């Protein structure tokens, strides 16, 4: 669903920003420019943002990515990547 016609912002765009850590409506506006032109979408954009934030599990918010530490040294063929949440220093392997 398109939330902001002026800037072509959908509910999925807003949900994606929340999943990526957007913590405030102001930050959302900085990223997507939603509700920064005519303002007709402000209520819908805030409601969509609030709903997306409410649906985001608290534990998931604190640690968005599960990191198996340490990454096994004797990994099978191919590359091994560890997903590390933003702001967390990974342990040395």
Contact characters 29-58, ligand FES, x per CB under 6 A: ------xxxxxxx-----------------
DSSP states of 10-78? EHHHHHHHHHTT--SHHHHHHHH-TTSSS-TTHHHHHHHHHHHHHHS-HHHHHSSS---SSPPSS--SS
Q: Is 6 in the site for ligand FES (CB under 6 A)?
A: yes
Closest approach of ligand FES to the CB of residue 22, in Å: 17
Residues that bind ligand FES (CB under 6 A): 4-6, 35-41
């Amino acid at each position: 669903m398109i939330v902001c016609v002026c800037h072509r912002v959908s509910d999925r765009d807003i949900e994606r920003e929340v999943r990526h850590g957007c913590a405030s409506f102001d930050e959302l506006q900085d990223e997507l420019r939603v509700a920064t032109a005519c303002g007709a979408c402000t209520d819908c954009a805030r409601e969509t943002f609030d709903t997306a934030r409410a649906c985001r599990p608290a534990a998931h918010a604190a640690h968005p990515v599960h990191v198996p530490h340490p990454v096994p040294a004797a990994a099978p063929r191919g590359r091994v990547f560890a997903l590390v949440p933003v702001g967390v220093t990974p342990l040395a392997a």
